[in-house]
Chains A and B, each alone.
Chain A
Amino acid sequence: MKYFFASRTGIIVTGIAIGVIAPLLQYLGNPRNMGICVACFERDIAGALGMHRAAVVQYLRPEIIGIVLGAMLVAFLGREFKARGGSSPLIRFFLGVFAMIGALVFLGCPWRALLRLAGGDWNAIVGLTGLALGIYVGSLFLKQGYTLHRTQSYPNKSAGFVMPTLMIGLFLLLVFQVSFGEGNPIFASTQGPGASRAPLYISLVAGLIFGGLAQRSRFCTMGSLRDLFISRDLHLFSGVVALVLTAFVLNLVLGQFNPGFIDQPIAHNMHLWNFLGMALAGLAFCLAGGCPGRQLILAGEGDTDAGVFVLGMIVGAGFSHNFAMASSPNGIGAFGASGVAVGLIFCLATAWIMTQQRQKAA
């Protein structure tokens, strides 16, 4: 079993599982072409906590909670749960912030980009091209010795439970429908994408399955392209292809396939910004070592640096909406372009500095 998921078949099975479950989640109520989206759903969590006040995107998404807890459980069973941290946490935090700003200019994480493609939203092709460019640039720095330096193992496993415990806390706030007073969080959208939800426990179980499978198989959309660029390794890429093909077939069956560029759900067609938003996100993911889904998995395995990246993404979602950087179906926000520019400067500077350092040390 352990080796099955490390195999080519294992990664393809994971891709197929996500490709089946995501369109079903959409069928059962999740937003269109958004059966699962780590960036969007973390943004919804930021909204539910009141970190932004965009009333249409607020909900404590059980999928995110499930992914972290599913990865934790399976990592435990596989004896891979290991508390660790200390690899440039502050830099990782801001990589998370800017990854989210970029993803919300495009409107989706790489998982959603693939699901948008499988749903016929051709804008996703533009976004995925940008993603590939960002990852390619990051790969160049990696080949030159870019590093955020080594993580340290903690002697006690307990340190690795901070993120899973936070997720359990969010889950309790959700199921007990806690409110901190009139006009205060916890918020839950009554209209818009935040109000489109599959039933709570189905979402949670779907998240647990995503988390468990992806922990075993190391599924990573960013890694799929990065490995192509660095070592011509098609392993992860085969999982991504399986995801898209499966979701495409299922969307056809469920009547959810709708090809075109115009009037796509929760998307805009400003090509330049779809491209640049995802280029920023791709670069940030590459520098941090994983796509948002993979970061949730690592956080569940006890990697506190990945946990810091996830928190950066949630805070970044707050910034995105509070500072008018997030896009809407009408197009990019008033400050979306500035956000992407600042993010690209930060990421390129980080890549440059953390590569130079290595060359001097060597």
Chain B
Amino acid sequence: MTKPIIDTRGLSCPQPVVLVLQALKGMTGSFDILVDSGAARENIRRTLEKKQIGFDAKEENGDTVYSVKR
């Protein structure tokens, strides 16, 4: 099975964080988060760090991809 992707690109704040919070609640495994705005990038990073959830960050075609590992 391919890893689920949460695509937050183009959404106004705080929808990116809301989607991530919902994914954290609704899913048990790992997933990727696609982010394209500076504010959302920092908000999601802060949310994950606060919840002490492990993740990798990389740049892909100008977007940031956070890979949440659980």
Residues of A within 8 A of B (CB): 6, 78, 80, 84, 87, 142-143, 147-148, 150-153, 218, 220, 223, 226-227, 230-231, 233, 235, 288-290, 305
Contact = CB atoms under 8 A, between A and B. Distances in A.
Contacts of B18: 142-143, 230
Interface in B11-68: 11-15, 17-18, 21, 36, 38-39, 42-43, 46-47, 50
B6 to A, nearest CB: 13
A17 to B, nearest CB: 19
Contacts of B13: 220, 223, 289-290
Nearest to B11: A150
A148 B10 CA distance: 10
B15 A147 contact: yes
Given A218-B38, A231-B47, A233-B46, A147 B11 contact: yes
10 contacts: A84-B10, A142-B18, A143-B18, A153-B10, A218-B39, A226-B14, A233-B43, A233-B46, A288-B12, A289-B14
Contacts of A223: 13-14
Contacts of A148: 12
A142 B39 contact: no
A87 B47 contact: no
Given A142-B15, A230-B17, A150 B10 contact: yes
Contacts of B12: 87, 147-148, 151, 288-290, 305
Contact of B14 (A6, A78, A142, A152): A142
A233 B38 CA distance: 17
A290 B43 CA distance: 14
Contacts of A220: 13
A226 B12 CA distance: 13
Contacts of B21: 230-231
Given A80-B38, A150-B9, A218-B38, A230 B14 contact: yes
Given A223-B14, A231-B21, A233-B50, 18 more contacts: A6-B42, A78-B38, A87-B12, A143-B18, A148-B12, A150-B10, A151-B11, A218-B38, A227-B14, A227-B43, A230-B14, A230-B17, A230-B18, A230-B21, A233-B46, A288-B12, A289-B13, A290-B13
A83 to B, nearest CB: 13
Contacts of B47: 231, 233
A290 B12 CA distance: 9
A1 to B, nearest CB: 14
Contacts of B38: 78, 80, 218
Contacts of B46: 233, 235
Contacts of A152: 10
Nearest to A143: B18
A218 B14 CA distance: 12
